Amino acid sequence: MAIQKKHGKGRLDKWYKLAKEKGYRARAAFKLIQLNKKYGFLEKSKVLLDLCAAPGSWCQVAAEVMPVNSLIVGVDLAPIKPIPRVITFQSDITTDKCRATIRQHFKTWKADTVLHDGAPNVGTAWAQDSFNQAELALQSLKLATEFLAEGGTFVTKVFRSKDYNPLLWVLNQLFTKVEATKPPSSRNVSAEIFVVCRGYKAPKHIDPRFLDPRSVFAELAGGTPNNEAKVYNPEVKKRKRDGYEEGDYIQFKEIAASDFIQTSDPIAILGSYNKLSFHQSPNGDIALAALDKLPETTAEIRECCADLKVLGRKEFKLLLKWRLKVRDIFGLSQKKAAAPEVAEEVAGVESMDEELRIQEELQAMKDNENAKRKREKRKENEQKRREIIRMQLNMMAPMDIGMEESGPMGEGAMFSLKTIDKSNGMNRFSRGKMITVPNTETKAAEETLDASAEAAESDSEEDLLETELDAMYEQYRERKLEADTKYRAKKARKEHKDDEWEGLSGGEDADSDASELKEEDDDDSSDDEDEGLPKNGLLTDLDGQAGESQDGLSRKASAFFSQDIFKEITGGSLLGAEEEDQETAPANGTKARTSELPAQKTMQKLSLQDDGVDSEDDQEFEVVRGEEEDDWEEKDKRRSDGRIDIDIVTAEAMTLAHQLATGQKTSHDAIDDGFNKRAFRDKDGLPEWFLDDEGKHDKPQKPITKAAAAAIKEKLRAFNARPIKKVREAKARKKFKTAQKLEKLKKKSDMLAADEGMTEKEKAESIQKLLSKAKKQKPRQPAKLVVARGLNKGVKGRPKGVKGRYRIVDARMKKELRAQKRIQKRKK
Ligand SMILES: C[S@@+](CC[C@H](N)C(=O)[O-])C[C@H]1O[C@@H](n2cnc3c(N)ncnc32)[C@H](O)[C@@H]1O
């Protein structure tokens, strides 16, 4: 049996062996590995400072885990054998020389992580150590504050001692997150723990006392009683086993209530006195008299003041609130300078806190500003991405894409004319009436420069997440598109609708712009010519077409129809839709503009109706059809009387159709119903997945009638009763085969009837035989079992050389079937 060697502290434990196995110089390596596993700071660091690094196992771990080309500097009193990718030197971390050497190595860099695993009594140069563990930790913190980058991590070893809490307090002032932990590889018998401090606040000024061991670990003479515990947690009572304090032998202590109001440490009074007295001495205290008369000094307050030792948390709170109120009344609420000796203690802390608070506020403001910028940027990117997708899906004419297609005039371009166009200044600009043109351009250019500067900012994690989410949603939709026909149809419908709405606004703009241009052209056309400006202002028509193309379509419409998808459609069918519009044109001779978008058509009709033009149209069913999407497709669906054959499939549509037919509603009402609070929601910048999900629920509930619901139900029932195609085909095949058989039979019986050599009786018998033979059904050939192996393995369709009915089975199934047959035979 192997005897387990035990040296001091059971040194040859599993971590020791593991360290040997892995080539680490000390078992301490696993402490860092485990700390990093929990907090993951090494992977994110590019510069690391290891204080008290000998023999160097932490440096080894850092070199393994940190990104290549990271800067790792290790220092110790003891020499460290060279470690690849690590700079080491011998020095005392408490000296200025050490600080200077580190600075030399770091140049302008700042450390992302500072490690400290120092232990004064373990080093080889033990005699040189003059600090205890906590002091050494404070010294290392001092170095960390000098070399750590903002947001950086500081890991230090400390021992649980009376100095632990003050040290932790200091660490808490300088880092956003401070956690103490003991990695599993740290021996239980050891009092060491590791404090991991994340998010270095990097204050501009640090009160030197924060890093001075004499201030931080100063022993307070006599020790202060824990009054906070007495007041904030009065229910938990601790027996006083210390005896009386020196010179304090009185059990019952009383103090004037006015002193409680004036004191800077009310908790101390509440914790150490028995009564707040309102009793006036012969010469009287004015403050106490005033306090006694104040309405705020209620009977309840007096009761509480009478015996402080029986009060609970709630009552103490009441007294403290009362004190604040009275201080307000007495004008004491402004902070007074505290007594000199206390002031020294508190002032340092307060100044630090104040500074940190201001810094935090500034940081918050900065963060807000950044977040705002990022949001705007994201919105812009989203818009562009959508435009590109729409372009790829042929849902947009190339000219609709801002920057890419319209060159220097596009959205986001250096001279963004879109802004001018939007503010309707384009027309005035083109006519030379806009005097402040250069300013606008400069502004546009400035804005663009700003935008590009913002663009230069690297995307944050949030942005990345958003993009990832969008990409994942896109993938999900693609998968769904492949698998789900219904979804495909739904998407197509939705995209078409989207197009309409975008078109409506675009169209409106275009139209209004066009009409304005037209009106103004009438007045100022000569001016334009005089000044030699192009007729369409600065928006050069790249296609060389004016506002309307030769075929009567608007520029935008003709660009839209010039896409490949419309190539095969003859001009006539395209114009059909327009002719329909022109029929409704008012008699005053104003040429009805081509409306490339159905919704716009509806709007136009609506405006014509408002003008008092033919109100009979109101009653016509076609006008209501807001979904007059593709007239070239609809042509096939017309009935013989020329009306469109609409298939009403929903109860809502049926209700509406019924209401329209019976005159309960007019087309006006139907169109009006289409406008609701959700119709014009601002969707800019919202992610697709969110809009899709919203779209499922943001539809107004349209009323349906019982009759309409019943009609649709009936319709669906009839629809479902229809045989499916395959059954229909099989039935037709059967019918055809029966007809063929009958035909054969007829031919044979005719031949028999014409046979002169047979008697009538023989003829009748033969025909009877033929009929009964035809009636007999051929026994169905059992399907041939083909084992799926060899050439037949994985074969699709009929295997080679197999005729008639067949079934592909695996060998096991074939054997089992044979066995079943054998068993049945035996039973017989
Ligand atoms: C536990 S060892 C460090 C082990 C190291 N983290 C590793 O993984 O190999 C503690 C080290 O602190 C060093 N040390 C103690 N006081 C120091 C000081 N004032 N300056 C530099 N190093 C010091 C000791 O020399 C000793 O090597």
Among the residues of 562-703, which ranges form H helices? 571-583, 598-610, 621-624, 631-634, 651-661, 667-674, 688-697
> SS3 letters for 540-594?
CCCCCCCCECCCCCEHHHHHHHCCHHHCCCCHHHHHHHHHHHHHCCCCCCCCCCC
CB 539 within 8 Å of CB 399: no
Q: What does residue 137 show for φ and ψ, rounded to 5 degrees?
A: -65, -40
Q: What does residue 57 show for φ and ψ, rounded to 5 degrees?
A: -65, -35
Nearest to 405 by CA among 547, 542, 220: 542
Strands 254-256 and 111-116: unpaired
| Residue linked to tokens 């460290």 | 80
CB 57 within 8 Å of CB 25: yes
CB 74 within 8 Å of CB 50: yes
**Residue 92 is assigned to a ligand binding site:** yes
Q: Give me 761's structure tokens.
A: 């009786």
Which residues partner with 71 through β-bridges?
A: 47
| Residue linked to tokens 């501009």 | 204
**C-alpha separations of 623 from 339, 396, 601, 653, 668 in Å:** 88, 26, 10, 15, 9
Cα gap 689→695, rounded to integer Å: 10
Position in ligand 1 atom list of the atom nearest CA 26? 9
Which residues partner with 256 through β-bridges?
A: 277
Q: SS3 of 433, please?
A: coil
CA angle at 567 for the pair 565 and 569, rounded to the nearest 5°: 100
Q: Whose CA is nearest to atom 19 of ligand 1?
A: 92
| Residue 50 CA, ligand 1 centroid: distance in Å | 10
Q: What single DSSP character describes residue 638?
A: B
Contacts 24+ apart (CB under 8 A), 527-530: 527/431, 527/432, 528/430, 528/431
Query: Which residues are catalytically annotated?
Result: 157
Q: SS3 of 115, please?
A: strand
Position in ligand 1 atom list of the atom nearest CA 125? 25
pLDDT at 641: 67
**Residue 76 is assigned to a ligand binding site:** yes
Q: Which of 51, 52, 113 to mutate to test the pocket of ligand 1 (most atoms within 8 A of CB)?
A: 52
Cα gap 727→735, rounded to integer Å: 12
Q: Counting Cβ atoms within 10 Å, is residue 467 exposed (0-12), middle (13-18) or buried (19+)?
A: middle
Among the residues of 148-280, which ranges form H helices? 164-174, 213-216, 227-232, 257-262, 266-272
| Residue 79 CA, ligand 1 centroid: distance in Å | 10
Position in ligand 1 atom list of the atom nearest CA 32? 8
Cα gap 479→585, rounded to integer Å: 47
| Residue 78 CA, ligand 1 centroid: distance in Å | 7
> Using one digit for the tens of pLDDT, what is the confidence trace for 322-367?
998 888 888 877 554 444 443 333 333 334 455 556 666 777 777 8
**C-alpha separations of 377 from 400, 411, 519, 732 in Å:** 20, 14, 38, 64
ipTM, 2 decimals?
0.99
**C-alpha separations of 547 from 393, 571, 573 in Å:** 26, 19, 22
Q: Give me 385's structure tokens.
A: 């991405």
- Kindly report the pTM of this predicted structure: 0.35
Amino acid identity, residue 704? I
Handedness of CA 712, 717, 722, 726 (dihedral sign): positive
**C-alpha separations of 133 from 146, 158, 213, 526 in Å:** 20, 6, 11, 92
Cα gap 248→225, rounded to integer Å: 13
> Using one digit for the tens of pLDDT, what is the confidence trace for 457-491?
545 667 777 777 888 888 888 877 777 777 777 77
CB 470 within 8 Å of CB 688: yes
Q: Whose CA is nearest to atom 10 of ligand 1?
A: 118
CB 128 within 8 Å of CB 92: yes
| Residue linked to tokens 């906590």 | 134
CB 571 within 8 Å of CB 551: yes
| 3-state helix vs strand vs coil in the chain, percent to 5 | 55, 10, 35
Q: SS3 of 548, please?
A: strand
| Residue 46 CA, ligand 1 centroid: distance in Å | 22
CB 210 within 8 Å of CB 173: yes
Q: Give me 406's structure tokens.
A: 């319209």
Position in ligand 1 atom list of the atom nearest CA 61? 8
Cα gap 812→787, rounded to integer Å: 9
Q: Which of 31, 77, 121, 129 to mutate to test the pocket of ligand 1 (most atoms within 8 A of CB)?
A: 77
CB 547 within 8 Å of CB 554: yes
| Residue 121 CA, ligand 1 centroid: distance in Å | 9
**Residue 58 is assigned to a ligand binding site:** yes
- Pocket-forming residues, ligand 1, beta carbon under 6 Å: 25-26, 28-29, 52-58, 76-78, 92-94, 117-120, 122-124, 129, 136
Cα gap 14→184, rounded to integer Å: 11
CB atoms within 10 A of CB 391: 16
Q: Residues 6 or more apart from 440 whose CB is under 8 A from it?
A: 419, 420, 425, 429, 434
Amino acid identity, residue 563? Q
Question: Which stretch of DSSP H or E encloses residue 177?
Answer: strand 175-181
Nearest to 602 by CA among 585, 582, 627: 627
Question: Which stretch of DSSP H or E encloses residue 200?
Answer: strand 192-200
pLDDT at 75: 95
CB atoms within 10 A of CB 512: 11
Q: Residues 6 or more apart from 659 whose CB is under 8 A from it?
A: 665
pLDDT at 347: 35
DSSP 331-349: T--SPPPPPHHHHHHHHHH
Which residues in the chain show pLDDT less than 50? 1-6, 9, 122-130, 220-223, 240, 242-243, 246, 336-352, 398-446, 448-449, 451-453, 455-456, 458, 498-550, 560, 563-566, 568-636
Cα gap 731→179, rounded to integer Å: 79
Cα gap 737→173, rounded to integer Å: 95
